[in-house]
Chain A
Amino acid sequence: MNKPITLGDQLKQQGISRRSFLKLCAVTTSMMALPPAMIPRVAAALEKALRPSVIWLSFQECTGCTESLTRSHAPTLESLIFNAISLDYHHTLQAASGTAAEAAREKAMEKFYGKYLLIVDGSIPTRDNGIYSTIAGRTNLDMLQEAAAGAAAIVAVGTCAAFGGIPYARPNPTGAVPVSELVKDKPIINVSGCPPIPVVITGVLAHYLTFGEIPPLDSLGRPSAFFGESIHDRCYRRPFYDQGKFAKSFDDEGARNGWCLYELGCKGPTTHNACATTKWNGGASFPIESGHPCLGCSEPNFWDAGGFYEALSTATRPLSSWAGAAVAAGAVAGAAIGASSLRKRATAKRAHHRVTAEELQQKEDV
């Protein structure tokens, strides 16, 4: 039997110098969000790493997670597929289709039984025996159970696979559940986010490739290296929160000055993710840096957790009493008016009542 080829052997065959290898290790360590002191350990592990077989199943999802992965810049998806993993099935990315694609999945499952890494994106509908989402005539439910049986570990990519996500939101017509509801006997890594940050997906794969084991996880099964701290704790706008400087509407002075978005509904304090440091699009920016509150997309039930624009500790209440009381008291002060009209607009939308610009203007003129 042939001795399996390690990543170290492979790089040597390609004539990669030791320096280039050390660079790869430094970049990989940073990508896994491990402290730089770990670089020597990463180097020792990477040298002996084997290219694992990966089977990626997409269930009740929007393909946003795969879209996110294709925008990974370091490593690029191509270098990941060609050098680091053997992606044996991914029905959006693979060249094969139809019967040939399903045959590739079955072959990989048989050949690497007990050893392959299973990646799942999307939730799994369970109502009416799971008929609401099928691939090649088979239900997601059936396909997951079969593939999970031979997996070494499962990575649930995206909030749908990790926590149920949008399909799971009330009233959950398809009876959608996350992977962890169905598979109880395998290690599961939840890489949540809607979608997850590309480098968080690749970082988790790199961790598995490097160390051959799953990374330390938090209480929700997410890798602590990326989900260990809240957005709020790592936010560059945090000093404004501490000083009590808040934007009260999207067009007020506070918003223009880049103050804290807490009162505009920012879910940063209750959301754990790496957006504030890793950022998006090759480190260009992240929602708060672009002036929008965090939606909390990497947390369970984020879709049902109240309005995106409701401040965390403020109870939702109908606008009429709020604005009405304030107007009656003659106490509507400058900054609050913007927020009031925003909420008015939102409430009106819910009630299918059209608010005219004149009406809004009237409120602001009071």
Chain B
Amino acid sequence: MNGLEDISISIVETTSTSGELRANVRAILHEIETLLGKLLESGEGDIIDIRSLPLLPADYEGLEGALGGGEVYAEIDGGNGPTVIVETGMPGVWWVSHYGDSDEIIAEFIEVTRIPELLMSPPEDIDDGLERLRMQLADAGH
């Protein structure tokens, strides 16, 4: 491995040294600002697909940093990989990460909403559960 250290490699900075926001991060924050205003006004939420944005790792980290952490952390134990849903430091802005079965992120969204749909119990599943509960009660002879 001799000589490898002689090759100069310049790593692109991952955090903004001057405290300024990166251009890509600023653009997304402006979009979130608009969506939050719309949410308050009409109650209508929206979703941004993070994968559809041309982000560098530094932009991604910058965005995470700018939004910060909030009060809610939820993990859905799915069939093939978990989904992690975190409310960011901006209430109403949720970071939703879907993991695949080998623990890599397969899709990621920013949801601007009071509560992401995935956290609400789906009527179909409530129905299944109710049926199970009734059977349990019947088995117990009540």
Contacts and interface: CB of A to CB of B under 8 A. Distances in A.
Contact of A23 (B51, B54, B118): B118
B109 A73 contact: no
Contacts of A257: 10
Interface stretch (B87-95, B99-107, B130-138): B99-107
Given A17-B79, A277-B51, 18 more contacts: A18-B125, A19-B78, A19-B118, A19-B125, A22-B117, A22-B118, A23-B76, A30-B51, A31-B107, A74-B104, A76-B100, A234-B54, A235-B54, A236-B54, A257-B10, A276-B54, A277-B53, A277-B54
Interface of A: 14, 16-20, 22-23, 26-27, 29-31, 33, 35-37, 39, 73-74, 76, 79, 234-236, 239, 256-258, 276-278, 282-283, 289
Contacts of B122: 17-19, 22
Nearest to B79: A20
A14 B79 CA distance: 10
B54 A30 contact: no
Given A16-B79, A26-B107, A35-B49, A289 B56 contact: yes
Interface of B: 10, 12, 23-24, 46-49, 51-56, 59, 76, 78-80, 83, 96, 98, 100, 104, 106-107, 109, 117-118, 122, 124-125
A305 B12 CA distance: 32
Given A30-B51, A73-B104, A289-B56, A18 B24 contact: no
Nearest to A238: B54
18 contacts: A17-B78, A17-B79, A20-B80, A23-B76, A23-B78, A23-B98, A26-B109, A30-B109, A73-B100, A74-B104, A236-B24, A236-B56, A256-B10, A257-B10, A276-B54, A277-B52, A277-B53, A282-B104
A257 to B, nearest CB: 8
A112 B119 CA distance: 41
- For the complex of A and B, list the 6 residue pairs with the smallest distance between their C-beta atoms, beginning with the closest: A74-B106, A36-B47, A18-B122, A30-B107, A27-B107, A18-B124
A283 B51 contact: yes
Contacts of B76: 19, 23
Given A16-B79, A73-B104, A236 B51 contact: no
B51 A258 contact: no
A289 B117 CA distance: 35
Given A19-B78, A19-B125, A20-B79, A236 B55 contact: yes
Contacts of A31: 107
Nearest to B82: A23
A278 B54 CA distance: 8
A338 to B, nearest CB: 16
A37 B46 CA distance: 8
Contact of B106 (A20, A27, A39): A27
| Residue from A37, A74, A79, A234 having most chain B Cβ neighbours under 10 A | A74
A79 B102 CA distance: 13
A39 B48 CA distance: 12
Contacts of A29: 49
A181 B59 CA distance: 44
Contacts of A79: 80
A239 B48 contact: no
Contacts of B24: 236
A17 B125 contact: yes
A74 B104 CA distance: 9
Contacts of A74: 100, 104, 106-107
Contacts of B117: 22
A16 B80 CA distance: 10
Contacts of A73: 100, 104, 106
Contacts of B124: 18
Given A18-B122, A22-B118, A278 B51 contact: yes
Contacts of A16: 79
A92 B135 CA distance: 51
